[in-house]
Amino acid sequence: MRDTYVHVVGGGLAGSEIALQLASRGIHVVLHEMRPMEVTKVHTSAMFAELVCSNSLKSNDLSNAEGLLKEELRMLGSKLLQIAEKCAVPAGKSLAVDRKRFSEMVSEALWNENRIIIRRELIEQIPLEDNTLWVIATGPVTHRRFAGWLQKLTGGFLHFFDAVSPIIYADSIDMQKVYVADRYGKGSGDYLNCPMNEEEYEIFWKELVNAETVEVHDFDKGLLFERCQPIEEIARSGKDALRYGPLKPVGLLDPRTGKEPYAVVQLRKENREGTLYSLVGFQTRLRWKEQKRIIRLIPGLEKAEIARYGVIHKNVYIEANRVLDDFLRLRKHKKLFFAGQVAGFEGYVSAIATGLFVAFNIYRSLSGQDMTSFPRETMLGSLVNAVVHHEGTLKPMYANFGLLPPLALRGSRLEKRLEMSKRALSAIKEFLDSEGKAWQTFRSRSALTS
């Protein structure tokens, strides 16, 4: 393996996980990243593994599918998850990170690894004639010239739109009007809450539905990603939609009144210093001047200064179910792997997870073993299975309990989920035990180099 180089295109979440995992196994990697020479509409730095929107890697709870996937990744020795945990910021039951520190730490880990060569360059196409292994992890904003080449290679491309939430400066928040509370008191006071009464909510809602949005070429409401709907689209579906969605007040008692407000806009810390806050669930495609105007209608944010505006972006991905095999390889070019969002997996944690999955199988293949799927009882195994065996038009897939084989059990939804998580984690343990020494070494070296 000493003379083998694996080429990874894209130094995002999936590509960084792959590079670090392979290098820790003694495999040389060339990591191609087009930033900063080429910019994207969603990345703002030249760092690796940049989180483009929320700073949250979602819940840690085992009754939550993302929580289960993260626990599996911990057991499998994910590099990026270890780093995320080192730069976590308080966020109740969720794992949220200081986004700058996170991408700095991932970048340092990549720079410090002497088996990784970093090439800052745009890849426009891949030479298919030689025997080199390539992994494509170019994400939702794959460069258009490379996307054109991929489209020809795979015979088609899909897309959808999603949006980013604004971030505001902490010192522009009126702390007299907001209050600290976590939903149902679960957490350590990590969120700021801007309470609205009925009148304030109605004004906010009316202004929001009538506010000017950015015209997006090719924009089609039907292609908005359901988990990342712009707030103005949610508002348009009905007057109370926000109160039952991102502005839900349930479990957020205002300590000054002892009551739940009519609606609440939550703010989550963006960095350890607490100088920046993001508006939770506030992804938007409003024009920038409109974003400022609408945000300033929220109690406590009348003087809010925006550090980063929300934007909408077109995400592209291949029809993975038509062209990839069980190991995320292109069926017609077995030297070409895909991971992360470009392969049809949605979300930060899925990108890290599929990066680890691909690294694991490349390692097996280079050490003379057969590639393998992960058990179906595990969230990672089921997630990969759901994408590559999807029937019909593929929609970006993320961890959810519906992907797991059903469990014959009477009980509440919560009890069933916890039982499924228990089953998944013992399946991972069994899988690791049966993998024998090779995987154990993979795991322990991953932990050692953290």
Ligand X SMILES: Cc1cc2nc3c(=O)[nH]c(=O)nc-3n(C[C@H](O)[C@H](O)[C@H](O)COP(=O)(O)OP(=O)(O)OC[C@H]3O[C@@H](n4cnc5c(N)ncnc54)[C@H](O)[C@@H]3O)c2cc1C
Q: Is 340 in the site for ligand X (CB under 6 A)?
A: yes
Tell which one of 8, 14, 301, 362 touches ligand X (CB under 6 A): 14
Angle at 268 between CA 262 and CA 274, to 5 degrees: 130
Rounded to whole angstroms, the Cα distance separating 49 from 118 reads 14
Give Cβ neighbours of residue 246 (< 8 Å, ≥ 6 apart): 231, 234, 265, 266, 280, 281, 282
CB of 261 to ligand X, least distance (A): 25
Angle at 245 between CA 239 and CA 248, to 5 degrees: 95
- Retrieve residue 369's tokens: 């073993």
Closest contact distance (angstroms) between CB of 179 and ligand X is 25
The span from the CA of 116 to the CA of 107, in Å, is 11
Using rule CB under 6 A, residue 404 touches ligand X: no
Q: Indicate which single residue of 347, 378, 394, 421 sits in contact with ligand X (rule: CB under 6 A).
A: 347
The nearer residue to ligand X, 395 or 423, going by C-beta atoms, is 395
Please tell me the total number of residues recorded for the chain in this structure: 450
Which residue's CB is nearer to ligand X, number 45 or number 197?
45
Query: Using CB under 6 A, which residues numbered 43 to 82 contact ligand X?
Result: 43, 52-54
Number of residues counted as binding ligand X (CB under 6 A): 39
Residue nearest to ligand X (CB): 12
User: What are the angstrom distances between the C-alpha of 102 and each of 60, 269, 361?
Assistant: 18, 14, 26
- DSSP annotation of 394: -
CA–CA distances in Å: residue 62 to residues 70, 172, 195, 297: 9, 36, 30, 37
| Segment lying near ligand X (by CB under 6 A), choices 132-140, 293-301, 411-419, 422-430 | 132-140
Residue 268 interacts with ligand X (CB under 6 A): yes or no: no
Residue 154 found at the interface with ligand X (CB under 6 A): no
* 99 lies in the site for ligand X, by CB under 6 A: no
Torsion angle of the four alpha carbons 359, 351, 379, 384, in this order, in degrees rounded to the nearest 10: -70
Told to check if 315 binds ligand X by CB under 6 A, we report: yes
Does position 94 interact with ligand X (CB under 6 A)? The reply is: no
Please tell me whether residue 83 binds ligand X under the rule CB under 6 A: no
By CB under 6 A, tell whether 13 contacts ligand X. Answer: yes
Binding site for ligand X (CB under 6 A): 9-15, 32-35, 40, 42-43, 52-54, 122-123, 137-143, 146, 162, 164, 228, 313, 315, 340-342, 346-348, 351
